[in-house]
Amino acid sequence: MSRARIHNNIRRLRFNASEMTQQEAAAEESTMKLTGYSSMSNLGKRTVWLLIGTLMIYGTYFASVLRNAGQSQFAGEALWRLMWAVVAIIGIEILYHLAAAPAGVQPEPRDERDILIESKAYRNGYFTYGAGAFLVISAVIAAGLAHIAVTPFLMVNLVLLFMVLAEVVKFVTQLLYYSRGLR
């Protein structure tokens, strides 16, 4: 039985025994969520901010670029958007490190658990990227057989999309393992 399910069962029992009012239960639940972030290691916190940054920046990028998916080459505005997205991700990483020290987040060495979680996260990201690359290759071959033109612009953006998806899967896996533990 999972830890969350055991916790829920205990809460239900306490609630049934009238030891805990509904307000207390709600307060405890919100505290649990807050302590979930605050009890994370620095690597976990870094993962949260990088995930938010990646989703915001590349979400905006793909929303704007895939609207003009018909263009054939990377040029002008599309190229600038791509460069801006890459620079912005690096900027977020730098900003996090600059803001971490004043906010009291001290750098701590990675332990074996962090390394194991990172390995598992990379594995899932690798599967995602492999599946995406396979999908892109299949789609291009199928489009070629059906005499549908596939522009290099669309192909490059599809490959990039799966790279970003792999990164998001990696971050989500890390957060999942940090929150529920290694099992």
Judged by beta carbon, residue 100 or residue 133, the one nearer another protein is 133
Least spacing, CB of residue 140 vs another protein, in Å: 5
Judged by beta carbon, residue 58 or residue 162, the one nearer another protein is 162
Least spacing, CB of residue 160 vs another protein, in Å: 11
* Cα 9 versus chain centre, distance: 30
- Binding residues for another protein, rule: CB under 8 A, are 73, 126, 130, 133-134, 136-137, 140-141, 143-144, 150, 152, 155-156, 159
Least spacing, CB of residue 130 vs another protein, in Å: 6
Judged by beta carbon, residue 22 or residue 112, the one nearer another protein is 112
> Within 10 A of 16 (CB to CB), how many other CB atoms are there?
9
Least spacing, CB of residue 82 vs another protein, in Å: 15
In our burial notation (b when 16+ CB lie closer than 10 A, e otherwise), range 75-99 reads eeebeebbeebeebbeebeeebeee
- How far is it, in rounded angstroms, from Cα 16 to Cα 84? 55
Judged by beta carbon, residue 34 or residue 137, the one nearer another protein is 137
Least spacing, CB of residue 13 vs another protein, in Å: 43
Of 55, 75, 71, nearest in space to 63 by CA: 55
Burial, 63: exposed, middle or buried (Cβ in 10 Å; 0-12, 13-18, 19+)?
exposed
How many C-alpha atoms does 14 have within 13 Å on its Cβ side? 13
- How far is it, in rounded angstroms, from Cα 168 to Cα 52? 9
Judged by beta carbon, residue 86 or residue 143, the one nearer another protein is 143
